[in-house]
Structure 1
Amino acid sequence: MNLECIGYEKRKGVGIITLNRPQVLNAMNRRLWLDFQTVLAEAGADPDIRAVVITGEGRAFSSGADLKDSRNRSQTDYRAYLEELQQASRRLIRFDKPVIAAINGYAIGSGFELALACDIRIAAENARIGLPEAKVASSVTGGALRLLQDLVGPGKARELLFTGDFIEGSEAARIGLVNLAVPLEQLMGTALSMAEKIAQNAPLSIKMIKKGLHMAQGETSMEALMDFEIEACLACVSAEERRVSLDTFETRKK
C-alpha cells in the first residue's frame, strides 16, 4: 500500500491504524481520508485481523479538518469532500470487526467524529475532546448528531454541540463519552490489551453481535431484531469455530 498520511501494522490479530500527519496535529485532508479507507478495507479483508485500534501519531488523535484546505474550496469541491468524508464514516460504522479508538491527545471536530464512529473509545486522561464546529461557523458530520446523543443523551449532546466546549478525557469517561480514561503512558497498552482479548473470541459471533447492535440502535422493530437474533445464533452455533470455541472455553474454566 502506498500510504502518505496513515501508518498501519499488525500485532497478535489486531490491526493498528495510526493517523500520521503529526506536524499539523493529524489534521484531516482528502489524502488522509483516502488512505484511511484503503487501510480499513485491507484490515476488513484480512482474516487474521480480528479487531482494529485507531490512534494518532504525536500529540493528537486528530485536530479535525485541515482548515487550510477548506478556505478556498468552491461549494462543489466542498460537497465532494464532505461526501467522501461521510463515505469513510459509513464504512467505519458498518465495519464488521470491532474498532477501538485510542485517543492520545486532541480529538477535535471531525477527529472526534472519527472516534465516535468506533465501537469503543479509550482516552488519555488529559486528552482534549470537543466538537467546536459552531465556533467556526460549520456543522458536524460523520453521523455525530446521532452517535453523540446515543452516548451521552440529548441534553448533554446539545450542551457540547451548542457551546463547542472541550472536555478532558477523564470528564469524557465520567459522562460516558468514552469507555475509559487512563494515563497517557498506559493508553496503547490498555487499548491493545482490550483488542487482543476481543481478537481471541469467535469472529462470526462478534460480527453477528455487532450487526445486531446496529439494528437495535436503528429503526428496526423489536420483533425484527429478535427474529434476527435467532438467525444469528443459529449461524454461529452451526459453524466449525463453535466446537473449537466450546472446547477452549471449557479448558479455561478448569
Structure 2
Amino acid sequence: MIPSDPVLVARDDALVTLTLNAPERRNALSVAMRRALADALEEIEADRSVRVVILTGTGEHFCSGGDLAGMEVGSLAEGRERMRQTHRLVRLMVQARVPIIAAVEGWCAGAGISLACASDHVIAGEGARFVASFGKVGLLPDLGLLHTLPLRVGQGRARELLLFGETVDASRALAIGLVDRVVPAADALAAARQRAALLAAQAPLTLALTKAALAAGLEAALAREQDIQAALYLTPDHAEGKAAFLEKRPPRFSEGT
C-alpha cells in the first residue's frame, strides 16, 4: 500500500483493519474511498480465514462525512447511480458474514455516523463527537442510516439526532446507545482489537447467521433512500446547502416543501 490509498488494509491473523485514509480532509468519504472500502470488504467476504474487521480513520478523526466538494449530480439517473454504488458498500457492511467493529476518534459526522451504525459494535474515544446534520445540506440521511440508527437508539432518539442535527459528545452517545463503549482518547483502536479477539473466538457461522437475521428490512430502506436522495440531489436547497458549507456560512434555504 502507498500513503495515498483511500483505504489502508492491514491483516493480523483473522483480523483485518480497514483505515479511512484522507487525514487532510478528516477522512471525508469520497467516491474513491467508498469504492475502495467496498472492494476491500468484498475481498474479505470471500476470504473465510477472516473472522473480524475493524473500521477506523487515519489521524485524529474517524470520518467527517460525505465529500461535498465532489458531490456533482446532474440528473436523476446520475443520482440513482450514485446511490446504487453507495448501497453496495452498505450491503457489504450490514449483510457481511463477519462482524465489523468501528473504532471512532474525533469527528464522526454525516456519512461517518452511517458507517458507524452499519457496523456491529462501536467503540469511541472520549474526545469523539457525533453529528448527523444532513438537513443543513438539503439531503436525506443516507448509507442506510434511516434503517440502522433507529435500531441502535430507538425512534425518538433517531428523530432528535436527524432532525435537529446537533452535536453529541461521547458520553451522551454512550447514554443513548449510539456507541457501545467509551474509552480514553486515542485508545479506541486498541480497545477494538481486544473486542475483536473475543469475536474471533466465536463460531463464525453463528455470527454470520445472526447478522443476517438482524439485517432484515435493510433492502426496503435502501430502495426508499435511493428514490428520495436521487431527487434531493437536484433541488435548490441542496445546491444552497452545499455552497454554504463550502463557503463556511449559514445556508439560506427556500420556503415551503
Give the TM-score taking structure 1 as reference length: 0.80
* 1-structure distance, mates of 2:22, 2:218: 34
Q: Give secondary structure in 2 for the equivalent of 1:61.
A: coil
Q: In 2, Cα distance between the equivalents of 1:189 and 1:4?
A: 23
Partner-residue secondary structure (3-state), 2:28? coil
**1:92 alignment partner in structure 2:** 93
Indicate the structure whose relative CO is greater, using CA pairs within 8 Å and at least 6 residues apart. Answer: 2
Counterpart in the other structure of 2:172? 171
Q: Which residue of 1 aligns with 2:59?
A: 58
Q: Give the corresponding residue for 1:42.
A: 43
Give secondary structure in 2 for the equivalent of 1:34.
Answer: helix
In structure 1, the partner of 2:243 is none
Deviation at 1:198, TM superposition (A): 0.7
- What aligned pairs does 1:133-144 form with structure 2 within 5 A after superposition? 133-144=134-145
**Residue in 2 that maps onto 1:117:** 118
Q: CA deviation at 1:215?
A: 4.3
CA shift in 2, pair 1:79/1:214, >3 Å = closer
Match of 1:246 in 2: none
2:101–2:192 Cα contact (<8 Å) kept: yes
> Can you list the C-alpha shifts for 1:105-132, whole angstroms capped at 9, x where unaligned?
2111111101111111111111111111
Q: In structure 1, how many angstroms separate the alpha carbons of the residues matched to 2:171 and 2:219?
A: 29
- Conservation of the 8 A alpha-carbon contact between 1:52 and 1:100: yes
- Equivalent residue number for residue 73 of structure 2: 73
Looking at structure 2, the residues matched to 69 and 209 of structure 1 have their Cα atoms a distance apart, in angstroms, of 37
**Given residue 73 of structure 1, which amino acid in structure 2 is its aligned partner?**
V
Question: Does the aligned pair in 2 maintain the 1:27–1:64 contact within 8 Å?
Answer: yes
Aligned to 1:237: none
Structure 2: gaps spanning 5 or more residues: 221-257
Which amino acid in the other structure matches residue 58 of structure 2? E
Distance 1:161 1:216 in 2: 20
Larger Rg: 1
SS in 1 for 2:139: coil
Give the aligned residue type for 2:11.
K
1:194 match: secondary structure: helix
Amino acid at match of 1:61: F
SS in 1 for 2:215: helix
8 A contact 1:15–1:49 mirrored in 2: yes
Residue 8 of structure 2 is aligned to residue 7 of structure 1: yes
Aligned to 2:32: 31
Paired-residue identity, %: 32
Amino acid at match of 1:99: I
1:171-191 deviation digits (Å, cap 9, x = unpaired) = 101111110111123211110
Q: Which runs of 5+ in 1 are unaligned?
A: 220-254
Tell me if structure 2 keeps the 8 A contact 1:99–1:118: yes
| Mapped contact 1:86–1:141 kept (Cα < 8 A) | no
Partner of 1:194: 195
| Greater per-residue helix proportion | 1
> For the structure 1 residues 169 and 20, does the alpha-carbon distance in structure 2 shift closer, same or farther, using more than 3 Å as the test?
same
Contact 2:147 2:217 in 1 (8 A): no
Offset of residue 80 of structure 1 = 2.1
1:160 corresponding residue in structure 2? 161
CA distance in 2, matches of 1:218, 1:143: 9
Contact 2:103-2:192 at 8 Å conserved across structures: yes
User: Within 5 A, what are the aligned runs for 1:233-252?
Assistant: none
Instruction: State the partner residue of 1:19.
Output: 20
Instruction: Kindly provide the amino acid, as one letter, of the partner of residue 73 in structure 2.
Output: R
Cα distance in 1, alignment partners of residues 94 and 174 from structure 2: 21
- Alpha-carbon distance in structure 1 between the residues aligned to 2:107 and 2:83: 22
SS at structure 2 position matched to 1:205: helix
